[in-house]
């Protein structure tokens, strides 16, 4: 027979860990055991390191090697900067909050952390729309592309992506519009050591439509057009050749294949973004409509799934871009410090 021991309320209270034990309004720490916390920290630290190092390699590669100074790569480099800053300024602090359940970094930094979080998410969306537009022009209008999408134009598109994301972040989180009509609820659950980030139903619905559903529809529409047109062009070129060797035709066909491959790779980047962030945008609407009954662990899981998208991007580049693997080798072996290293042909086998 199992012996059941009575435990007093005082003893139960003593077993509870608080973020700030000396405060009588402190938040309660997450009740993970040491082993679980260690595993979680190791996994998240590994993801953060890959995010920072991988995206730093992308930025250094494109900035250093002249052959990579193309309009598309300017947008890719700017997107990598978004992911790098997310890995440096958002993910480490979110890691502590997610694992410990405590915010140790002050109320002021909580405000900036939440704002930057929204800013980088929005910037990623606008960059992906710009990249999809660039690929659409390259594949569907190959003759006009060199004059339509130049380096200054792609630089303007990247700058516009940052500006729109900044306006979006500071007009919502920055002004705390997202917390309108939630003041009483926030006051009832607030405690010392928390960094609450709640979005009301109206703001969540508008943000999800304007900054996820609409952009996703635009990107999917553009990529469908890209693949339909590329297939049409390929069949037309094959029919024109009729078995006769034509150097010019072969070059055009090879260029079209390269453009299609680049579009496919960047399409995978867009698809990964959609899959990673879709669950978060869904619960951001469902949670306020259900009076915030969503389990905290599910919310944290979906937030981190979105963050991990920034980890996936350099991995995708490594799998599908031979130039990324070559530049990574040149960086690791310090050959980029050799004279005239910026002129190396990174597309050579």
The string of pLDDT tens digits covering residues 218-234 is 888 888 888 888 777 66
| Best-predicted range by mean pLDDT (30-34, 258-262, 343-347) | 343-347
Q: Please tell me the distance from the alpha carbon of residue 183 to that of residue 174, in angstroms, as a whole number.
A: 16
Tokens for 94? 């979110």
Helices (H), the chain: 9-15, 34-64, 71-89, 91-100, 107-140, 145-148, 151-172, 183-189, 201-208, 214-241, 247-289, 296-320, 322-332
Chain centroid to Cα 348, Å, comes to 30
Separation of CA 261 from chain center: 22
What does the alpha-carbon distance between residue 142 and residue 254 come to, in Å, rounded to a whole number?
13
Give the confidence band of 4 by pLDDT, cuts at 50, 70, 90.
very low
pLDDT band at 183 (very low <50, low <70, confident <90, very high): confident
- Which residue ranges form the domains of the chain, and what is each CATH number? 31-336 (1.20.1070.10)
CA distances 250 to 29, 89, 120, 140, 256, Å, are 65, 48, 42, 18, 10
Residue 98 burial by Cβ neighbours in a 10 Å radius (0-12, 13-18, 19+): buried
Q: What is the pLDDT of residue 64?
A: 94
Indicate the angle between helix axes 71-89 and 296-320, nearest 10 degrees: 140
Give the three-class secondary structure for 192: strand
CA 153, distance to chain mean position in Å, is 23
Q: With a threshold of 0.85, does the pTM exceed it? A: yes
- Residue 237 is predicted with a pLDDT of 64
Residue of 54, 127, 81, 84 whose CA lies nearest to 318: 54
**242-276 pLDDT, tens digit each:** 555 555 556 666 666 666 676 777 778 888 888 89
* 54 touches 311 (CB < 8 A): yes
Three-state SS at 164? helix
């Amino acid at each position: 027979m199992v012996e059941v021991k009575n435990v007093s309320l005082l003893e139960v209270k003593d077993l509870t860990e608080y973020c700030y034990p000396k405060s009588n309004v402190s938040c309660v720490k997450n009740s993970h055991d040491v082993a679980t916390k260690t595993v979680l920290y190791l996994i998240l630290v590994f993801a953060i390191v890959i995010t920072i190092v991988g995206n730093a390699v992308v930025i250094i590669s494109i900035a250093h090697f002249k052959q990579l100074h193309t309009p598309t790569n300017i947008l890719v480099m700017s997107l990598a900067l978004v992911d790098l800053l997310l890995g440096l300024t958002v993910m480490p602090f979110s890691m502590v909050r997610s694992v410990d359940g405590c915010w140790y970094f002050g109320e002021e930094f909580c405000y900036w952390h939440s704002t930057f979080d929204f800013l980088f998410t929005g910037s990623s969306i606008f960059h992906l729309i710009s990249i999809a537009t660039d690929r659409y022009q390259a594949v569907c209008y190959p003759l006009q592309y060199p004059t339509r999408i130049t380096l200054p134009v792609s630089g303007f598109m990247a700058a516009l992506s940052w500006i729109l994301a900044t306006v979006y972040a500071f007009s919502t989180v920055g002004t705390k519009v997202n917390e309108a009509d939630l003041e009483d609820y926030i006051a009832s659950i607030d405690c010392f050591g928390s960094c609450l980030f709640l979005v009301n139903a109206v703001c969540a619905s508008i943000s999800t439509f304007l900054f996820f559903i609409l952009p996703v529809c635009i990107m999917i529409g553009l990529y469908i057009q890209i693949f339909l047109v590329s297939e049409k062009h390929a069949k037309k070129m094959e029919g024109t050749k009729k078995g006769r060797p034509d150097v010019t035709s072969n070059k055009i066909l090879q260029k079209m294949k390269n453009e299609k491959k680049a579009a496919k790779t960047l399409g995978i980047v867009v698809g990964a973004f959609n899959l990673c962030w879709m669950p978060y945008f869904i619960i951001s609407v469902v949670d306020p409509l259900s009076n915030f009954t969503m389990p905290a662990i599910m919310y944290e899981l979906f937030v981190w799934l979105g963050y991990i998208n920034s980890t996936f991007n350099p991995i995708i580049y490594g799998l599908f871009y031979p130039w990324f693997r070559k530049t990574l080798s040149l960086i690791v072996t310090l050959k980029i410090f050799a004279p005239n290293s910026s002129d190396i042909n990174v597309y050579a086998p």
